[in-house]
Amino acid sequence: MKYMIVLLLALFSTLSIAQETAPFTPDQEKQIENLIHAALFNDPASPRIGAKHPKLTLVNFTDYNCPYCKQLDPMLEKIVQKYPDVAVIIKPLPFKGESSITGGAYCADHLARSSATVPRAT
């Protein structure tokens, strides 16, 4: 009997925790959109290539250790060369864990020491 009471109390206590939160107000939604836009398009720490005032901006989430990302990077460079009104913003994202973070740090250090603007995939 005690076991059943404890079980019921545990069940009802977790139900009170899982209450639905109130939806965002229109002002809050607009603030969130502005924060996301600023983080994606106006982050000075994110490398970018292409037009300074583009008509189209591509945001490329990439991993320095991802073989598919390495195939995409040269294609993005070609797009920027072919279409002068396009810009690409590069967002390093460590899909593969610690080795990706280390690779990204190495590339960032290399960029800081060289005149290169964007790491090239090899």
Q: Per-residue pLDDT tens for 44-88?
A: 988 899 999 999 999 999 888 888 988 998 999 999 999 999 999
Give the CATH number, domain containing residue 69: 3.40.30.10
Q: Is residue 112 part of a domain?
A: yes
pTM for the model: 0.61
Bridge partners of residue 6, in order along the sequence: none
Domain hosting 113: range is: 44-122
Whole-angstrom Cα distance, residue 113 to residue 101? 18
Q: Is residue 34 part of a domain?
A: no
Instruction: Tell me the CA distances in angstroms from 112 to 12, 49, 84, one per residue in order.
Output: 56, 16, 26
Looking at the structure of the chain, the number of domains it has is: 1
CB 46 within 8 A of CB 117: no
